[in-house]
Structure 1
Amino acid sequence: MKLSLTSWSFPACSLQEIAAISRALGIGALDVGLFYRSGLNKSEILADPKAAAEPLRNLGVTIPNYYHLFGEGIDGQNLSLPGTIAQNIKDTEAILTFADAADIATVFILPGVINPGQSRDQAGGQSAESLKALLEVASHHKAQLCIEPHVQSWAESPALVQRLVDQTGVKLALDYSHFACLGYRQDEIDPLAQHAAHVHLRQAKMGHLQAKFAQGTLNFPAMFATLRDAGYQGYLALEAVHQDYMNTLTEDVLTETILMRDCFQNWKG
């Protein structure tokens, strides 16, 4: 397993600056997305994916993962929204072409939300139908498509996520913090490790999606061992953030990033 840094962790920095931070911290890998000053241009990716990939080759870091959001916000054009499959298939073809051209191993998307008039089961059923279609597109590409179950999605419990995996075969961008903040114990989340294609690292506790490293409840050495024993050999992305979502504005991102880096390196020996 190796470390990466998420580009959205430092919202005021350009992509080049965050790549330099990743190198300076001895990480040398960077997840990319669509947000803040470092955000990629979604319109360019969808219109000419191979051309959009070219600038990433000059960053001087490995890019393990790209985070794509289909619409505006987590509810726009989301996987649980009826009538979105055709457009999402078209967009998925473009984003995976982009990922292949940029040598990005994994692309993660969100599983969808509970839309107006839907039940959780209806949202989950529509999401599964969407994912089956998108995974068929992904079967023709090198980059692996996966989902990140998250707070405020329809898939907020380990059991719901496991059901979706069983229905579709989808792999996960696994982030324990989204379950921990809802009160799930770490050992209840552990069975999902066998389905991980990418992993996010962030300290959390019940009621808090993000917590200071010394004040959260996640046991990271145990998590690393669980992932290793499940056969995971991919990237662990350091994802301390400074953003409005779920009140994650109060931590010193650089300090938290370094503490998590050191925790992994000490465990790895």
Structure 2
Amino acid sequence: MLSKKIGIDLGTSTVVVYVKGEGVVVNEPALMVTDEKGGRVLAVGRAASELAGKGGKVRAIRPVRNGNGVDYGIAGALVQHLIGRIIGRQRIFRPAHGEILALESLPVGGDALDAAIDEAVSSARGLRLGGGEPERIKRQIGSANPPVADTSIEVMAIDAQGQPALTQVSAAEVASAIEDLVDQIGAAVDRVFTQVPAERRAAVRRNGLVLTGGGAQLNGLVEFLGGRARMPARIARDPEACVAVGTGMALDNLQMIRRGQHYIT
């Protein structure tokens, strides 16, 4: 049996697997749920998110923390479970003609934004959000900019006694909770641009920013970063899958990649 070329994008919130000739075969939460002692895997991916949201004596584990800290044992088990079921760190960089002119890995991933939202709710109400709720809040009412209209949504939480509770979370609360983290991303973009050789900066500014990954879809982020960097900014087509797809395609261009590796900082 011929081996398959596979590209994997293991993010803080989502894992995407691309198989050449088949397309994206996995696009699910980067989450594994085990029993309380961690000895038995109960669910992975979307099923794990649903199980974690029900509470109970289980452990919810993410293989990537803070954007770039990876537990490779958990990561391998998660991907193996997901692929088997179906087929039997934020990085900021500036590539140019196969070269990487500047690179910075920032420990601010989707889970850091989720944790900030959870902490804000806990501090204000003494409640912990249910599994998957911080990400749902982020996707529905999260914003990189102060919201024009302060909308709110009802979410599931857990009180100090471990009992389920409902509470309202507003868009203004969420924007305030993630403001510092969003600013860190903007500052990292500024630093990366200063690393670009002076003779290349005009081209970089002309071509602008391309945001990838699930976090790229945070409402207002593309406008915030483009405005701060004073250059065009856009979200990649299919931002959650494009890294995995590109990784799979890169397997056909390994020689070009190897030639450009000495540009990585």
TM score, norm. by length of structure 2: 0.28
Bigger CA radius of gyration = 2
**Going by fraction, where is strand more abundant, 1 or 2?**
2
The normalised TM-score by structure 1 is: 0.28
